[in-house]
Structure 1
Amino acid sequence: MADVLVIQNSTSGGPSRMAGWLEEGGLTLDVVPAHAGAPLPGGLRHDAMIMLGGGYLPGDDERAPWLRDARRLMEQALATGVPVFGICLGGQMLAQVAGGEVRADAGTPENGSLPVTIRPEAATDPLFHGLPPVVPAIEHHKDAVTRLPGGAAHLAETGACPYQAFRVGERAWGVQFHPEVLPARIREWRVEGFDPDEVYARAVADEPVSTPVWRTVIGRFAALAITGTAAGTAAGTAAGTAAGASAGVSGAA
């Protein structure tokens, strides 16, 4: 069975519901709690890699010394074509490692479930094709990618943060939002300027629309990891069609 290395960068930032989606797709998870001192592998021997979020910049080695090894594994994945999915900090790390730019306190902070616009470039993307034009996604960040790597495909955006999703090469994706997070997690976040009850209620209301879409995207990633680019895209397309039908593939306000 194919396996995926999942690097956890914060105590509460585990794979959450995404674990079940990946397992449904046929992947075995190897979750490494790097934030707790668990050593990262010396080399990438997995079929795929997922870099989760955390309250750091990608190069914040002084506070999070394991990030140096995490970047090394990201570089190896890019060099060898191992499928990568980076979330929040993980997406920022992918952008930086591939030659883009990440800045602290960039623009307006985003928190809670917000409408993410899927760009036309996503129409041919193995993971993001056929999605509704606007999908709710849970956000929790103030740092952001401010310049994509050269040649990257720009897949999704919000008004406050343009680079919500992108692809580097053919097999590496970064997202600023959190497809793995359930609304209950928002209860743990306290962000100045946001009413926690209001933010939570919005996420609960959006979940019936957002969940089937992000489940489809993660399922496509699992298929890609198992069967390779061409077959994985075909399998993901079929899975996405079925999931899109169940979700109504309707836009979200």
Structure 2
Amino acid sequence: MEKKRFAVLMCAEDSEYVKKVYGGYSGVFVKMLEEEGETWDVYKVARGEFPEDDELFLYDGFVITGSCSDAHGNDTWVQDLLDLLNKLHSMNKKLLGICFGHQILGRALGGKVTRSPTGWDIGIRTITLSPSWSFSLTSLDLPPRLSIIECHRDEIRELPAKAEVIAWSEKTGIEMFKYGDHIMGIQGHPEYSKDILLHLIDRLIQGDCIIDAVGIQARERAALWEPDKEAWKRMCVNFLKGRL
């Protein structure tokens, strides 16, 4: 049987801490999604490293990661990524977008991404799955509400008509969406651990991206709940491998 092959499209730069402890952000994704007998490649698209057009057919699916960049921006690599995603969409490839990846997929399909009018969402949040979507997930034994780590200040404000919102929260109206059977976006971070979240909060404070009070509140919220990591893993693996 031919080995399945997947690629991580890295839209962020690794921190020294994540490289040292987790083998980089791409390693975090591969650890969550990889199954025996698969091949996983990594393309650092934020550095301009993209697969060639004649390589795209080799892959069964692609994962688009989070980023410190804006999905509504016009950096050269962001424009190149939009072009790539449209090619993959036309090829009906499985596409799983996380945080920035979720947003850039929404934009590629014709949606609108902006700063959230309610500001940053950092910590652990409970999201509600659409009844129509949760019905299709019954084989995975997932509850109708799931907790997930969030770290974003942008969000999808509008999706194209053919896209379906499949989860929302009190803060964000489009926490998840799907387009056909081959594209799914998740605003939160199913791959993150609490340790990565706390490290990221420190980086955001040190970089003056958020004020201390926001960081303290995020740490307090993170201490109250646990993300449903195993449930998210089951959902992401089964979507990417075509079992949903």
**Interval containing the TM-score (normalised by the shorter chain):** 0.7 to 0.9
* Runs of 5+ consecutive residues of structure 2 not aligned to the other structure: 15-23
Provide the rounded CA distance (Å) in 1 between the counterparts of 2:36 and 2:169: 29
1:142 aligned onto 2:162: no
Q: Which residue in the other structure is 2:60 paired with?
A: 47
Q: Which of 187, 196, 205 pairs up with 1:176? A: 187
Residues 146-183 of structure 1 show CA distances to partners (whole Å, capped at 9, x for unaligned) of 01111212111111111000001111001111111111
Q: Which residue in the other structure is 1:92 paired with?
A: 103
Residues 178-207 of structure 1 show CA distances to partners (whole Å, capped at 9, x for unaligned) of 1111111122223334244x6346446533
* Cα distance change of structure 1 residues 29 and 126 upon mapping to structure 2, 3 Å threshold: farther
1:10 aligned onto 2:21: no
Provide the rounded CA distance (Å) in 2 between the counterparts of 1:148 and 1:113: 24
Q: How does 1:1-253 map to 2 (within 5 A)?
A: 1-12=3-14, 14-24=25-35, 26-35=37-46, 37-43=47-53, 44-45=56-57, 46-62=59-75, 65-125=76-136, 130-186=141-197, 187-189=199-201, 190=205, 191-192=210-211, 193-196=213-216, 199-200=218-219, 202-203=221-222, 206-207=225-226, 210-224=228-242, 232-233=243-244
Provide the rounded CA distance (Å) in 1 between the counterparts of 2:104 and 2:158: 12
Provide the rounded CA distance (Å) in 2 between the counterparts of 1:42 and 1:89: 22
Provide the rounded CA distance (Å) in 1 between the counterparts of 2:37 and 2:219: 32
Aligned pair count reads 221
**Corresponding letter in the other structure for 1:55:** C
Paired-residue identity, %: 23
Provide the rounded CA distance (Å) in 2 between the counterparts of 1:20 and 1:128: 23
* Cα distance change of structure 1 residues 97 and 142 upon mapping to structure 2, 3 Å threshold: same
CA contact (8 A) 2:95 2:182 kept: yes
Alpha-carbon deviation of 1:58?
2.3
CA contact (8 A) 2:129 2:144 kept: yes
**Corresponding letter in the other structure for 1:134:** R
Provide the rounded CA distance (Å) in 2 between the counterparts of 1:81 and 1:167: 13
The alignment partner of 2:157 has SS state of strand
CA contact (8 A) 2:127 2:169 kept: yes
Alpha-carbon deviation of 1:16?
4.5
The alignment partner of 1:194 has SS state of helix
**Corresponding letter in the other structure for 1:216:** R
CA RMSD of aligned residues (A): 2.4
The alignment partner of 1:188 has SS state of helix
Q: Which residue in the other structure is 2:17 paired with?
A: none
* Cα distance change of structure 1 residues 27 and 206 upon mapping to structure 2, 3 Å threshold: farther
Could you tell which deviates more after superposition, 91-100 or 184-193?
A: 184-193
